[in-house]
Structure 1
Amino acid sequence: MKKILFSLLLLLGLSSCMAKTQQQPGQINYNNVTVNWKATDQRIHFDLRAKTTGWIAIGLEPSFYMKNAKFVIGYFDPKTGKPVLSTEYGNGYTSHAKVAADQLLSDIKGSQKEGWTELSFSLPLSSAIANFNYSIKPGEKYKFLVAYGANGAKDLNSYHAFAEGTKVVLIPAKS
């Protein structure tokens, strides 16, 4: 009974989250996380910033909760001084699995300072890779999921400390 009640509350919470829209073109701000994006003719560039020393993730176009979302999840490794990113697929309502689509990622950058992690990367506007297939058209509305892990969380499967869903309009970059 407690599991059912928790699931219903989670469903209601995510439903109301999905109704939100971005506060300004190209940006979503929450208490401790910011996502910026810019679409060009061929790629979409994302900048993620969160108050964590763990992982950060963005999921594109989930069908229900995490199901069918195309995730890019990663963290900054202070030992190597480099970001570690992974492409993942929402294979369940509350789970994801690795997808062989890392070759789509480019312009990868990252940093960590004073408890904040920043990750940047770009993706092509479309992909036909199995379980990572999508097509983004600037000017149209899409569902995003944004999440981050607890401080120090480098396990890309650990539970999130924060998660939010929203609908955004992807604004093309100005020439």
Structure 2
Amino acid sequence: MASKFVLLSLVVLAVLSSGCTGPREDGAGPSREAVEMAVTAEWAPDGVISEGEYARKISLSGGIFEVFWKNDAETLYMAIKGETGGWVSIGFDPSVWMRDADIVIGYVDDEGEVYARDAYSTGNYGPHPPDTDLGGTDDLLEYGGSEKDGFTVIEFKRKMETGDEFDRALRSGETVNIIWGISYSDDPERRHQRAGKGKVTFM
């Protein structure tokens, strides 16, 4: 009996230490209204959210996670910023918890190299493999990032409608549910430590 309990404990520990199991969330209530900003600067995927670079911003969970964006009918430009030295992620339009979310996840490694993944959540709590592993395509046209003062920033560009079945088709004027997550690890297979929900409305 004792050996069965030990085995069960080891299995639970292994599950909790990997993937995005469990619905732990922050800021699951109504998200703050988007702040409108004048676009006066060119977009650059340099990991620096410059004044005038984005048209809208939302701050979630007291600023633990922020989303900046602008778009036209064809292209989305977005920055995600999380209070962590690990990975940050955003998911568009999940069906249940994380399932079916069109996800972008990125991090900056110890050498300063930036990585970003066009991913898709196949289950309620992950996993979220790259679209290319599922037969889709990598539709991040450009990306960059930075890690500074306890925050990680990932900026990326993609088409509003990529034609990939693992990407959510986005349209001007619509409001889309989002999920977000941050981890204290750079390993995108490790579980998030903070997560939540929000909404973004495209221009």
**Counterpart in the other structure of 2:33:** 22
Aligned to 2:108, the other structure's residue is in SS state strand
**Counterpart in the other structure of 1:118:** 153
Q: What are the residue-to-residue correspondences of 1:150-169 with 2, within 5 Å? A: 150=184, 153-169=185-201
TM-score normalised to the size of structure 1? 0.80
Alignment equivalent of 2:100, drawn from 56, 65, 68: 68
Displacement, 1:155? 1.2
Unmatched tracts of structure 2, length 5 or more: 1-22, 37-55
The number of residues matched between the two structures is 157
TM-score normalised to the size of structure 2? 0.69
- Per-residue CA deviations over 1:46-101 (Å, capped at 9, x if unaligned) read 1111111100000011111100000010101231x231011111101000222115
Q: Any conservation in 2 of the 1:49–1:117 contact (CA below 8 Å)?
A: yes
Structure with bigger gyration radius: 2
Pair 1:36 & 2:68 matched: yes
Q: Any conservation in 1 of the 2:32–2:59 contact (CA below 8 Å)?
A: no
Pair 1:105 & 2:137 matched: no
Aligned to 2:171, the other structure's residue is in SS state coil
Alignment equivalent of 1:47, drawn from 79, 98, 109: 79
Unmatched tracts of structure 1, length 5 or more: 1-9
**Counterpart in the other structure of 1:5:** none
Identity in percent: 24
The structure whose residues are more often strand, as a share, is 1
Displacement, 1:44? 0.5
Q: CA RMSD in A?
A: 2.3
Pair 1:93 & 2:127 matched: no
